Structure 1
Amino acid sequence: MEDFLYFFTFQDSSIAFVVIGITLLGLGSAYVGTYSFMDKKALLGDAISHAVLPGICLGFILAGEKDPIFIVGGAFLSGALATFLTSWIRTNTKLSEDATIASILSIFFGFGVVLLTVIQKSGNPEMAGLNQFIFGNAIAILEEDLYIYGGLAVLIIISLSLFQKEFSLLVFNPDYGKAIGYPMGTIRLIFNVLMILAVVIGIQAIGVVLMAALLITPGAAARFWTDRLHKLLLIAGLFSVISGIIGTYISFVLPQMPTGPWVVVCLSLHALISFLFAPKKGVLFRSISRKNYLNKTHRDHLLKALHHGLENGKKYLSIEEIYESFPFQKQKANSQSMI
């Protein structure tokens, strides 16, 4: 209880910075990821999140320390290169999109692991904590990091909010957008830049391995609750923020526990609850609705059978005749007859 009160009363200013950072990160990632999910480009986010690792390592090598500007710059360039290569290979070769993304993901991540190993063997004392970029550690976010990561997150949120109509056209009907004069190629480029930025700002808190879950899972879970885009974005953002704060709190209570896995676990619980219990689209609701519909349909068929019996001069139908009319639904016929 002491740890809980200490964390959520923000007695330590560094904890406030962490909570603000994970909140902005969660909102930005959820917004970008929701559009990506609706655009059926979920795998691209996974490829970018793995592809930024060599950029992080190169940024560290150039700076000689964990300078956030070099880290962000290197990660952005690496993610941009991976995005460009994915698009170029898909356009100029016969490889399918999933094969292209899998190849880019593996090559970049493998190269990043090699660079990380080289850095670890270099003996540079500033490399301590660099491997936290693999699984994330939100508690390690400092005040100067918040200015950069938080500023980029605010930029993402504002951009997606102000140009919701343009990005909605990109996701739902790009051909119509092009027909009415919108530069859909430029809009696609801007969206890809925002996605890369969302991945870059999340690598320290969530890690390159699990960043794709923070992009896609909130939107996928929120999709069970609504069909309206603005509500979808709000629900996805709420799921992401709650999961991020809970995951960060667990990482704070258990210092040796990385943040990313716990954030993903919390997101997975949100997705599971949505999958099972969401109204209209949840499995439980749909199962109950289907059962009620089948009962209603069988009751209507039973009433029709009784009506035909009356037309043929029968005042009633015996239970045996009803069973003959519905041989595979005796239990339902018996229960409806009793009603």
Structure 2
Amino acid sequence: MPLPIDALLLLSFGGPEGPADVRPFLENVTRGRGIPPERLDAVEEHYRHFGGVSPLNARNRELIAEIEKRIDVPVYFGNRNWHPMVEDTVAEMARAGVRRAAVFATSAYGGYSACRQYDDDIARARAAVGATAPELVKLRHFFDHPLFVAANADAVRAVRGQAGAGARLVFTAHSVPESADRAAGLPSDGGRRYSRQVTEAARLVAAELGEPEHDVVWQSRSGPPQVPWLEPDILDHLDALHAAGVPGVVISPIGFVSDHVEVVWDLDTEARDRAAELGMGFARAATAGPDPRFADMVVELVEELRHGVPARRLSTVDSAGATVDGAPCADGCCVPVRRPAG
């Protein structure tokens, strides 16, 4: 049924915008997770390599500017971990008289960190604002939306020739603990909503490209070595491809909608350097967010909500994500998994 709205909130992860922001930002990200200080030190150095600035907030502001050209309601911006914090943004929306807003979370996938944690952000922000907080309706997963698939496919086409003949197409997404992936989704659907959706998005993009073979690998793990995470890691996979005689790779960061430090460090720095050491051709495709079709897709998701426009999907893989006021999709869906300290 159509559901009128009077605003759109773009809800994202957040990132530092200067050297003084880096450590407080990382402490926000890791609060309660038992991450040792030495791990934060290492990640802090990654940010300082880029002047202490993540590209994420700038990319999100660019996306908002594109959405504003296409939509007739005000667009607000809030983050989980750094300014503008979502609690402050929802308070601003309340002062402006917003009564109901759609929420576009900048993740295409299910799972705790990719989906349900955004529900928690919405619930926390509304609780902080109180009775005047607007109703917030989070939009659905979009990993199989035709415009998302097309944007990622064209990004691969744009760099395909840079890696040389015979280059292997490799899709990457952020790794999570195996236990967290098993808990993604519901027991009734077998869990693993996150990895299944990432794998399906990769399949759809490869099919659009006419690529008969491709790989799905993972990056950016941060947990202790004794805890199993989704594998293979991108660097290990480059070693394996080299050993198998593969001359080059084209990397598509399918798990990310915008560049941020985990893309520009883990892929553009570490993976590129490893490929160079191995003598392999290397190209990294752009993320989908800067493509004009991505803003078109966001508006289309809003129109599904406000005007009952039929959803466009390219697969039948389990999808969810749409929630009201931060309520999880269903009891037991994508529950958080406590990560051991160390």
The question of a shared fold, defined as TM-score above 0.5 by the shorter chain, is answered with no
- Larger Rg: 1 or 2? 1
Q: Which has the higher contact order (CA 8 A, sep 6+)?
A: 2
Structure with greater proportional strand content: 2
More helix by share: 1
TM-score (normalised: structure 1): 0.26
